[in-house]
Amino acid sequence: MEETAKTFKFAEEVAIDKTRNLKKEDVSITIPAIGNIRGYCKSFFQKADHFSISLMHIVRLFYPEMKGKHWGDFQMLVKNNYGETDNFYRLLESAAPFLKLIRDTRDCLEHTNLAGVETRDFELQADGTIEPPSIEIDFRKSSQERCSISSFMEAITREIPFYFELMIVHMCSKNMKPFAGMPLTIGVLSDDYQNAWHVRFAYGSYNLDETFVPCG
């Protein structure tokens, strides 16, 4: 997914540079073009949705009742189980629409007979400026105002690890069991543990001095 986003960004920069280097003998405006904009978006959202599907498989390990259901259903399950003020539900208030947007956009891009996602190459505006390649989504109650495709890809690539990490943390926290009679919690690891284990959170307990001790 990151490679697709980088490839698109590079194609965008190449198109701009190519146009900038053209010799202009009159006052006409040359508009850059990438081509196959929808194809780039389709490839990106297919990969993004693969993440969403894999994360839902993990959700179902913790909540088997989610079999055959989707992110909106999971949001309601968390609300019913833990309440609207719980941090897990607050996370899903943004995570569920985000993941649904990914699925709906992929569905729309794969079925070209469905209106709902509009992609545009570089486009000349009424004020004479040139708008970069953009995407606009309005499908199955998922919406995204017209925005730069490269910026949108970068934002999604950045947000996916954030939602993955925190959803795993919350699901583990909600389903913890004591170990050898000792109650466990989930805490943030110190920098040295994070560097060695390549994760930010772990099972463990707190000492009297409030130092978190991971359960190795």
Q: What distance in Å separates the CA atoms of residue 171 and residue 108, rounded to the nearest whole number?
A: 31
Cα distances from 93 to residues 24, 80, 97, 99, 163, in angstroms, run 51, 13, 7, 11, 11
Q: Is 27 helix (H, G, I), strand (E, B) or coil?
A: coil
Query: For residue 174, what pLDDT is reported?
Result: 92
CA angle 80–82–84, rounded 5-degree value: 75
What length is written for the chain? 216
Query: For residue 114, what pLDDT is reported?
Result: 67
One pLDDT digit (tens) per residue for the chain, 216 residues: 999 999 999 999 998 888 776 655 554 567 888 889 999 999 999 999 999 999 999 999 999 999 999 999 999 999 999 999 999 999 999 999 999 999 999 998 987 656 788 999 998 888 778 889 999 999 888 899 999 999 999 999 999 999 999 999 999 999 888 777 777 889 999 999 999 999 999 988 888 888 888 886
Contact 40, 149 (CB under 8 A): yes
- Which residues touch 215 (CB under 8 Å, ≥6 apart)? 179, 184, 202, 203, 204, 205
Query: For residue 28, what pLDDT is reported?
Result: 58
Contact 56, 70 (CB under 8 A): yes
Q: What distance in Å separates the CA atoms of residue 66 and residue 167, rounded to the nearest whole number?
A: 15
For the chain, domain boundaries: 2-175, 176-216
